[in-house]
Amino acid sequence: MKSLIRVVCAVLAAVPMLAAAQGAWPVKPVRVIVSTVPGPLDAFARIICEKLSTSLKQPFIVENKAGAGGNIAAEYVKSQAPDGYTLLFAIDTTFTVNPALYKNLPFDPEKDFATISVPVTYAQMLTVNPTVPVKNVSELVALSKQKPLSYASGGNGSPSHLAGAYFLSVANTDMTHIPYKGTGQSVVDVIGGRVDTLFAVTSGVLPQVQGGKLKALAVSSPKRSPLAPDVPTIAEVGYPGFDVQFAYALMAPAGTPNEIVQLLNREVQKAMHDPDVIEKNRIADYAPTNLDPKQSAVWLRENREKWTGVIRKANITAE
């Protein structure tokens, strides 16, 4: 009996120590691998990491590992210890598009990762060169059935390419795809009249629209953009249910304790309500999602299924 009491007492004494150990994370700097070169994702990751550093009282250090559509960063992070000290910030396409785009993906998008958060989504704006004789989406579709038209993108499998391919599928028409190595040059060539049209991130092309260098026809999200409230959605102008949005995803290696995953999700959500983050998201045209880890994983899974169908139908391959 006495030995049993000693065992019980020992267990009870260990409970606070266990709780303290579990609640101690993080006790050292956290590495956050960003899957792109400095740019929109990097800027978003850094402001979120700044808020996490302040809130959790440990440095969240951003490191860029770009290449292969995010595959290099994802493969690296999946091989790290699942202790919460190495995280991945990626464009959702690494997990929603790449599985269908690359024949030999170096990771399993579900089995190799724990989903922490899909904090924001962003849409694409459909624009045309001002000399293209159309005023709206219906006229663009009609014109594409009368004469050859072309659409630019930031590269095979890029968000601008996928948005264009999906739109053409829904509109039951066709245009010649002109891929570029990055969105910047594709915008330049549409402005210059070398290509007729393109989808691009709203905040990226809005200055050209406002300057009269491009004509905006619609946005790909279900709701109009606060940055361009006069531009209709594609769903509004004859294609009900049309919804093309991309996102950022914060991930951890599979096996990361659920307590850490949940804590990080809560902290990201808290950061999203910071006035500074709200303003930066408004300028970038990012829409907050308020998704918990399970809902974020579902978002990625559903979009993976959606884009797999689009990629196979359009026969899109990696460059």
Q: Are 117 and 149 found together in one domain? A: no
Q: Which residues contact 62 (CB under 8 A, 6 or more apart)?
A: 32, 34, 42, 45, 46, 49, 89
Tell if the pTM clears 0.95, that is, is over it: no
Percent of the chain with pLDDT over 90: 86
Mean pLDDT across 55-74? 96
Residues in the chain: 319
Same domain for 129 and 105: no
Q: State the Cα angle at 211 between 235 and 149, rounded to 5°.
A: 55
Residue 48 shares a structural domain with residue 103: yes
Which among 121, 246, 129 has a CA at the least distance from the CA of 187?
129
Phi, psi of 127 (to 5 degrees): -130, 160
Q: Is residue 12 part of a domain?
A: no
Q: Torsions phi, psi of 215, nearest 5?
A: -115, 125
Q: Nearest-5° angle of CA 67, CA 206, CA 236?
A: 100
- Mean pLDDT along residues 178-199: 94
CATH number of domain containing 165: 3.40.190.10
pLDDT at 311: 93
Residue 14 covered by a domain: no
Q: Residues 270-307: pLDDT tens digits?
A: 999 999 999 999 999 999 999 999 999 999 999 999 99
Could you tell me if 113 and 140 lie in one domain? no
Same domain, 51 and 93: yes
Residue 22 lies in a domain: no
Report the number of distinct structural domains present in the chain: 2
- Residue after which a domain boundary falls, among 184, 219, 254: 219
Residue 81 in domain: yes
Amino acid of residue 117:
S
Residue 19 in domain: no
**168 in the same domain as 114:** no
Contact between residue 20 and residue 59 where contact means Cβ atoms under 8 Å apart:
no
Average pLDDT for 192-201 = 97
- Do 103 and 151 lie in a common domain? no
Range of the domain at 214: 124-219
Asked, for residue 274, whether it belongs to a domain, the answer is yes
Q: Which of 156, 161, 155 is nearest to 180 (CA)?
A: 155
Residue 212, pLDDT > 80, answer: yes
Do 106 and 143 belong to one domain?
no
Residues 146 and 194 in one domain: yes
User: Which of 183, 200, 219 delimits the end of a domain?
Assistant: 219
Q: Are residues 71 and 115 in the same domain?
A: yes
Instruction: Read off the pLDDT of residues 249-268 as tens digits, 9 standing for 90 and up.
Output: 999 999 999 999 999 999 99
- Both 201 and 287 in one domain: the answer is no
Say if 52 falls within a structural domain. yes
- In a domain, residue 17? The reply is no
Q: CATH number for the domain including 96?
A: 3.40.190.150
